[in-house]
Structure 1
């Protein structure tokens, strides 16, 4: 089934390096049914990964390919499996989020999209995004012999329903070591340890969502890392969720070091093969 109001599920720019940056949760586009049905609590789209494409815009100069989902996660969550199998045993949200991160309802009573609509979202938004992701990883691997996938996310620094206290500034996830070489996660951790402005953790509350788990195959020379950022370091966490010209540059400098660290590691690792 096809619905005419679903168009351009993603934006993609091909790069020149072995690095692909996936940004699944920055989209704010809504279908008409979702827009009509959102609860008052959901209308500000607070669970969006605000400004992430802008935050990583520098990566174009590093040759990164960049894939950005255009639709809000309130339509369909691109970082959940298509069968909606839960990724975490703790509180989370699903493929079609019926609750917000803070536990409030996403939709007004009786206004949740029906099964036919949700199947269309899966067919016309989720699958095209993942087809592009798979295709680009295959192209990169064919060209370079390996591929590096960086799944970029952000979240409010305090959400009691999801985690206790304040979230570390940088939350690296490698599916508990299964999605990338331990050498690569060591490089990234070491870069974080060389600075003192931002706190960090590896495989803490956020170990990596579906994208990291599904596409990270280090034995096949595809290495995937998720980074969940605390939004307080580059934006205002309250509506209208403004970008911070004061705070963002320092975080961007560290992110640039992390991505350059991935690229340097890849060149060293695979030039020796």
Structure 2
């Protein structure tokens, strides 16, 4: 199985999907413990949630699971959130802080996974962003994520439904951030936050360089907003999802329509 799937569109928006994959090669899966085999920290059904929302969008999707290697972490292993609980390039625990390996990988194995999975995903993503920028004068990377709304190991309380990350406004034009925030804040029945617990992962921070014509924004959704329950079997709730898709479609449309205004701002 290829570690990355690309669906190429002719518009200015690129969707990054680093955490929807569930493929674990047998040689790696044999080393996971029972808790690891549950793959609980998947961004469940996110590719389905965004499917068909924007004509002409490009998708870059990792097919491998984040327990193989996390495509949204610094390849050098630096923490995204120093001083806070988080998971690393190859997670040793799940989001509840529980071990997931019977035999954790050593540095040589991590390096092999970097080359075979992480680097290939990002080579594809970088190529698509360059292609889109060359075509439109600007590229907008919208990095798609979701997570359980209650995870005491990672954060206190209940996560808002929409969690917008731009690393303090540094990864995109201010108009992109404002448009996403306005739509989320105006979505009746939903909560939102800008640059709260999730400020944008390595992907958003690495590619989001407005001065080069590449703008990046991360959307971390609470899974309670579109799943029947935040527990196995992680069932997609069509009614909840369809209601959420209205607002996600509005965000993507606003970003697409903004792209011509970003030309010449580099």
Same fold (TM over 0.5): yes
Unaligned runs of 5+ in 2: none
Residue aligning to 1:254: 247
Unaligned runs of 5+ in 1: 1-6
Tell me how far 1:267 sits from its aligned partner: 2.6
Residue aligning to 1:82: 75
1:86, 1:238 → 2: CA distance?
Answer: 27
Residue aligning to 2:230: 237
**TM-score (norm. length: structure 1):** 0.93
Q: What is the RMSD of the two structures over their aligned residues, measured on CA atoms?
A: 1.5
2:41, 2:161 → 1: CA distance?
Answer: 17
Tell me how far 1:271 sits from its aligned partner: 8.7
2:199 is aligned, of 200, 207, 210, to 207
Aligned residues: 264
1:56-78 deviation digits (Å, cap 9, x = unpaired): 1023x421100110000000000
1:217-248 deviation digits (Å, cap 9, x = unpaired): 11112110000000011112111111111211
Spell out structure 1 runs of 4+ moving beyond 6 A: none
Tell me how far 1:36 sits from its aligned partner: 1.2
**Greater Cα offset, 40-49 or 223-232:** 40-49
Residue aligning to 2:148: 156
Is the CA contact 2:138–2:262 (under 8 Å) kept in the aligned structure 1? no
Task: Show the 5 A alignment for 1:43-58.
Answer: 43-58=37-52
1:15, 1:197 → 2: CA distance?
Answer: 32
1:272, 1:213 → 2: CA distance?
Answer: 19
Residue aligning to 2:24: 30
Residue aligning to 2:2: 8
Is the CA contact 1:34–1:112 (under 8 Å) kept in the aligned structure 2? no
Residue aligning to 1:196: 188
**TM-score (norm. length: structure 2):** 0.95
1:240, 1:187 → 2: CA distance?
Answer: 34
